[in-house]
Every structure is written in C-alpha cells, then in structure tokens.
Amino acid sequence: MSVSLIRTLLLYIVIIAAVRLMGKRQISELQTSELVVTLLISDIAAIPMQNTGQPLVSGFLPIAVLVSCELIVSTLMMKSAKFRRFVCGKPIIVINNGKVDQSQMRRLRMSTEDLSEQLRQMDVFNLEDVAYAIVETNGKLSVLKKPDKLQPDNSMLGIVIPDNGIEAVIISDGEISEFSVSLCGLSREWIDGILQGQNIALEDVFIMTADKQRNYNIIKKEAVS
C-alpha cells in the first residue's frame, strides 16, 4: 500500500513538472501536439501506478521523451510557419464579410447550432451583427462585429480615463503577496500604514486590493460561528 502511494506521488510530481515545462494553457487552448502529448502522458502514468511490479523508470522515461518531443516541436513551430500549419492547421473563416461560408463549415463539420452557440458565448445573439468569424487553430471562435454594431469606446466619445494601472490582490486571507505589491509599485510600509490607520490586523484581512494610484479596498474576515 505504501509503495503504491509513494509511486503515485512521484508520478504526480513528474506530471506536474512535465505540464509546467510545456507551458501554461487551459485545456481548451491546447494545440494539436500539446493535446496528444497530454493524453499520452496520462495513459503512460496510469500503467506504473496500477502495476507496482513494473519499474518506475518505465513511466518516467516515456514521459521525459514525450515532453522533449513537444518542446522540440514547439520550437520548430516558432521558427517555421509552414511546420506550424502542418501540425496545427490554419485559422478558417466561417463568416466572411457578413456571409456564412457553408463550404468551410462543412469542412470543419460545424453545425449551425455549434456556430450559434459559440456566438452566444461571445455575447452575439444576432447573426447579422457579425462581419467576420474565424475558427482558430485551437478550435475557439474569434468574432468581429460590423462597424455599426460595435459599442462606442471612450476614444470615440472623446472621454479621457485616467490610467490607474492594474488592480491586484495584495493581501489574501491574511498573507501579503510580494509579487502583487511589486506589480503595483507599493511597499510593505505603505500597507502597514493603511492597516494601522484602519485599526485592522493583518491576519483579520480576507482580501485587500490596490492599484498604482494607491486606491485600495479592504474586506475583513467574517467571524466564524
């Protein structure tokens, strides 16, 4: 029992390291090669987990080979557009200048219900509002609305909005995030001063957010009943 537990934990650590090496992506954003490697790694790792009589290296070695292959393929795709198109394909326009390209939809085996669903997920409920819709290589749909259907932004309205920078969580559940503090150009002394002025202890803070202009918001922890 203990042997199986240790083997599982070791493989778990190896798989996490392998996924980190391949880069940060959500499942829906995986390219073809990345998806294949992810599926193979999960299958390979399951074998030594279930069969304790099999050497653990028989699981480590194939995972290392697959990750190495993926890193090489990723590098080649960065260097060569032709190789990238060969592995991942290329974006396909399914709505071109307001007209649905039925031949491309048949090529993708994409139904009208699929198209409507993806448009609704992007807050587009009227097909006539779309100028261009492109199915990217990861399967996601990119949409450009017609000019008269776009919402006006501040530049169109002549409104100047001050740039306060990004708002970040600098305290989470009583712990200060040094990364967020640095991102906002703040300091530990400034945080201590704010908390002292509000008469709040650090461990009593549930969330504290702030930006570069030193605008902040504090949410205290609720009392546990």
Identify the three-state secondary structure at position 46: helix
φ and ψ at residue 138, rounded to 5 degrees? -95, 5
Helices (H), the chain: 2-22, 32-50, 57-79, 81-88, 102-108, 112-121, 154-157, 178-183, 188-197
Find out whether 152 and 41 touch, Cβ atoms under 8 Å.
no
Q: What is the residue type of 206?
A: F
Whole-angstrom CA distances from 40 to 5, 46, 138 are: 22, 10, 19
Q: What is the pLDDT of residue 104?
A: 92
| Model pLDDT for residues 16-62, shown as the tens digit of each residue | 777 677 665 555 556 667 777 777 877 777 777 677 677 777 777 88
Whole-angstrom CA distances from 145 to 42, 88, 114, 123 are: 40, 26, 18, 11
- 139 DSSP assignment: S
Q: What is the pLDDT of residue 30?
A: 65
Tokens 């030193």 found at: 214
Contacts of 81 (CB under 8 A, 6+ apart): none
95 forms beta bridges with: 100, 133
Q: What is the pLDDT of residue 22?
A: 67
Residues of the chain with pLDDT under 70: 1, 3-4, 19, 22-32, 49, 52, 224-225
For residue 11, the tally of other CB atoms under 10 A from its CB is: 21
Q: What is the pLDDT of residue 192?
A: 93
Q: What is the pLDDT of residue 29?
A: 59
pTM of the model: 0.61
